[in-house]
Amino acid sequence: MSNAEPAGLRRLASELTPTAIVCLTIIALAAFIAIFAPAIAPYDEGTILTNESFASPGNGMLLGSDYLGRDIASRLGFGIRTTLSVALAISVIAFLIGSAFGFFAAIMGGWTDTVVSRTVDALISFPAIMIALIVVSSLGSSFLVLIVTVAVIDSTRVYRVARALGMDIVVQDYIEAARVRGEGTGWIIWHELLPNALGPLAAEFGIRFTYAILFVSALSFLGLGVQPPHSDLGLMVKENMQGLLYGSFSPLYPALAIAMVTVSTNILVDWYLKSTDANLPEEL
């Protein structure tokens, strides 16, 4: 298995299309900004530089000022940092929970599968946004509440994909062979299920990452996600909405930043699925 991976990557690299390269560049740029925001942003995210709300660009402010007179460009950098790291944490946790339970249900079958699947069904019978509203209304919004809530919501979708992938693999002969050899459930999940499901799961990770970005941004936009004075892309849109009426484009920048990352990720996932001939189980 370990020998196959570099070759797989090399083959993938040979199939790079111009669109894929552009998307990769955008994501790399966003990651760079997210990591180095404190070093490259001209000002701190909370510094009020001018009395003027929605000042036009100039005076050392690349994109002008926001509703409080803070530098939009700097806040954008910190916003990308917050949004992307929160979304990444959510997707990683969702994956750990979702794929662990999904593979476990697939391999155990029987009543274990029934219990876990029905629990997931119960969670899915809620519109996701309502779960978030209920939790935030009783616990208030903090980074911890936000990350855990959205991760749990997201893990239900990962669970369904992982379980469906696992179901297809569990019936293979080599799983039978491993069982006859006397390997444990954990070993089989780690050494047989995971490597064989890795391709489609990687694609699913991209989709969940996009979803997490959009969901967190929507919550922040509603005032129920990341709280001020932190800078978050969705929150920036909410704060500067009124600027539109004064002819400022300030809410447009964070919204476009989100769109660039999410669109690039989705296009990459599409390209990845096509060039590896991998298929995601249908989500119907």
Question: Which residue ranges make up the site for another protein (CB under 8 A)?
Answer: 122, 125-131, 133-139, 210, 214, 217-218, 221-224, 234, 237, 241, 244-245, 247, 249, 251-252, 255-256, 258-259, 262-263, 265-267, 270, 282, 284
Nearer to another protein, 106 or 189 (CB): 106
C-beta separation of 91 from 265 below 8 A: no
What span, in angstroms and rounded, lies between the C-alpha atoms of 121 and 187?
A: 28
SS3 of 84, please? Answer: helix
Rounded to the nearest 10 degrees, how much is the dihedral formed by the CA atoms of 94, 100, 104, 105?
A: 0
CB of 214 vs another protein, minimal distance in Å: 5
What span, in angstroms and rounded, lies between the C-alpha atoms of 255 and 83?
A: 12
Nearer to another protein, 149 or 196 (CB): 149
What span, in angstroms and rounded, lies between the C-alpha atoms of 8 and 238?
A: 43
C-beta separation of 212 from 150 below 8 A: yes
Q: Which of 20, 156, 155, 7 is nearest to 94 (CA)?
A: 155
CB of 37 vs another protein, minimal distance in Å: 20
Nearer to another protein, 198 or 260 (CB): 260
CB of 97 vs another protein, minimal distance in Å: 18
CB of 138 vs another protein, minimal distance in Å: 4
CB of 183 vs another protein, minimal distance in Å: 30
Nearer to another protein, 26 or 178 (CB): 26
Nearer to another protein, 65 or 220 (CB): 220
CB of 168 vs another protein, minimal distance in Å: 17
C-beta separation of 128 from 149 below 8 A: no
Nearer to another protein, 133 or 178 (CB): 133
Q: Which amino acid is at 267?
A: I
